[in-house]
Amino acid sequence: CFLSLQKREISNFDYLMYLNTLAGRSYNDYMQYPVFPWVLADYHSETLDLTDPHTFRDLSKPMGAQTVERKHKFIQRFNEVEKNLSAQCHYCTHYSSAIIVASYLVRMEPFTQTFCSLQGGSFDVADRMFHSVKSTWESASRDNMSDVRELTPEFFYLPEFLINANHFELGCMQDGTVLGDVQLPPWADGDPHKFILLHRQALESDYVSAHLHCWIDLIFGHKQHGSAAVEAVNTYHPYFYGDKMNLKNIKDPLIKSTILGFISNFGQIPKQV
């Protein structure tokens, strides 16, 4: 399959779906939903230049290390082992979870009901809802130390998830903005179809094709755990490594329940492929 990718016999999208499937990720499981990378870093320009390397996210680094300042903060956390942590790691949150998936796709059923169920029966505070691609990128790549989320496959083929076609009352932000359709980058001209078209072109671009293997190493490969993950600033709380934990050896039912609940709510590292 990798040789087919090199020969351009399959698309980057298809290759990522193939890897997700091998790693146990499925559309049928929100807790192990297919995970896709942020591929762009330009959500402010009027036009999108896919020939400029600066247009793209650094695929060799996890979301927590996209800026030097943020990377150093997570390294410091790893070295200090905060008192409220039970284990040494860079990240206490995950890049893919049921709530992340449902929040991205909240404008479509059945994700709307799933999101509300996970939130205790109602929508979240409007300012925390997914409302802007640009602000979500800035949060996940730079501003929010508890946000390292990646994307779902829908960002590359499904414009409908960006539209509040069902007219759900998602609330009003503190600045007075009423939540409706997702706010798109200037280069999309307010058109979800154009956003998806350009975003998919970015995924299939020469730059991403040349660097995608770096991201795959982080998520599915040898930099997923161990010393290579530490060096890459890519370690997560041990509970996220579900397949590495032998729950059968844990006799205390409360501890076992806590671990399972943690994985259910906060995410799970894909199986290594």
Q: Does the pLDDT at position 132 exceed 60?
A: yes
Which helix (H) or strand (E) element contains residue 200?
helix 192-203
Does residue 184 lie in a domain region? yes
The pLDDT tens digits for 211-237 are: 999 999 999 999 999 999 999 999 998
Q: For 160-196, what is the HEC assignment?
A: HHHCCCCCCCCCECCCCCECCCCECCHHHCCCHHHHH
The proportion of the chain whose per-residue pLDDT surpasses 90, expressed as a percent, equals 72
Asked if the structure places residue 269 within a domain, the reply is no
Q: What is the mean pLDDT of residues 256-272?
A: 77
At 197, the pLDDT band (50, 70, 90 cuts) reads very high
In a domain, 270, yes or no: no
pLDDT band of 248, cuts 50, 70, 90:
low
According to the model, what pLDDT value does residue 244 have?
A: 62
Report the number of distinct structural domains present in the chain.
1
In-domain check, residue 272: no
Q: Does residue 273 belong to any structural domain of this protein?
A: no
Q: Which long-range contacts (CB under 8 A, 24 or more apart) does 157-165 make?
A: 157/13, 157/196, 157/200, 158/196, 159/192, 159/193, 159/195, 159/196, 160/108, 160/192, 161/104, 161/105, 161/107, 161/108, 162/107, 162/192, 162/195, 162/196, 163/107, 163/192, 164/107, 165/107
Please say if the pLDDT value at position 1 is more than 60.
no
Structural domain that includes position 72: 1-264
| CATH of residue 5 | 1.10.1540.10
pLDDT per position as a tens digit, 171-183: 999 988 899 999 9
**Is 163 domain-assigned?**
yes
- What is the Cα–Cα distance from 38 to 41, expressed in whole angstroms? 8
Q: Is residue 186 part of a domain?
A: yes
Q: What is the pTM of this model?
A: 0.90
